Structure 1
Amino acid sequence: MRSVNRRARRLVPAALVLGVLPLGVVAGAGPVQPTYVADASVAREPVAAPPAPVPVVAAVSGPDAVAGIVTRVVPPVGTGVFTVVPGSTSAPVPGVVRTVRVEVEDGLPIDPAAFARFVMRTLNDPRGWGRDATFTRTVGEAEIVVRLAGPDTTARLCAPIDTGGPLSCRSGPDAVVNHQRWVEGHPDYRGDLTGYRRYVVNHEVGHLLGLGHVECPGIGAPAPVMQQQSLGLLGCAPNPWPYPG
């Protein structure tokens, strides 16, 4: 009898433990999740959509980096605020001196200093307007202002001209270069992004120098720099220079 009682005493605590398991817990298993029944009459807070993934774009190099491009991302909406690229350059050769100020819209994935260098090298190239004048960069008052702007800001600055998204323009004393075209170029230039960028700078600055649009002179001829090459070459060959010879 004594041994039986001892066995009974050992069994009682185990039974008690089983009797007080928390509600919803099964011995040997984890907690059972409660089930809820949807009630259409109960208003619920709207669930916010997850944020859009941020594009991962590899940094560029070579000619693109020379032109100031950091990535292939083209933000459609910029800040609308422009920052003057710091620094200045002296006139490379004697002659008629024209002052240039370069500005970049804040928030664009661009190296402003590299963009400014590209602009000045293009303008002072002897195949370009540098044959007739010498261009010097300043942060102060300038005869010519070259602005790099996002597509939406370009559209606002160029109104009432319809840029259609990627086009650049002359706006008052400013040559407004569209960042979208700066990154993507134009298919008629057959992948020559550097050539197309030179064309955009020379074309818009040409307007500031008092020049208007001209037509393609003939099939296969180099397109004049003041032809609207961004709208199509119309049989001409791509050409970024005022004096290509």
Structure 2
Amino acid sequence: MYRRIKLVDKTDISIIDKLEMDLQNLIQAMEIYFDEFVNHIDITNEIEEIRKFNPDHILSFNYTNTYQRLNKQDCCQIHGTACYKQGFPKKCSLVLGIPKTDIPFANTSVTFFYKEFQREYNKNETDYLKWIQYMHQKNTEYSNNYRKYISNLEIFEKKHPRKPYSLPIMALKPKEPEAPMNEIMILGHSLRGDFDILSPFFILENTNIIIFYKGDSDYKNKWKFICGPNSTIEKEHSHIDWKMLND
């Protein structure tokens, strides 16, 4: 699409309208295929890494209900779920676009091609925003409780400077609060194209994230491209685990 746009004169916007119609037709064809065929494939092989992980939240960029059928657990379908049989004609909820980029056109709108626009236009699921807010709240409560713990510990140690403490004194020692751990699983992402959705999860404290990807070094290259070569994904009390899926 991008190559074709660059070859067209800026005053000729008909190619944009044609491309938009082609994309809409492709998205609807995809939805029919996913709902009529993929959603009815008999699932016999379960991925071990997915089975043994027990996440609090599942973020999916896939278009099918395969995970829900296999695990009987809801997840937030960022890019919609193929459900062609629910009624036709209707507005398709599948998102198939590009991340926002600067396309050199003065008076031409390519808004429809952006994932961000398609998500808003389709009114796709936004439960993940509530998850982020909830996890921030848990982390804030933990931080406040930890500060109180440190303050009370200092007072305790001033009152009882001698160590080791006897059992009666140990009973008076303030108990350190336990950090809340959030378990998140991410499926079907495009690290570069969906980074606006993923980045708030990456900066969360007290969070374990497992991300399934394809290609042995794919995620490393994209991570460096987005965040810089010296960026780190490890934080205190947090961990991001990248799992490669084979064919």
More helix by share: 2
Q: Structure 1 length normalisation: TM-score?
A: 0.26
TM-score computed with the length of structure 2 as normaliser: 0.26
Higher RCO (CA < 8 A, seq sep 6+): 2
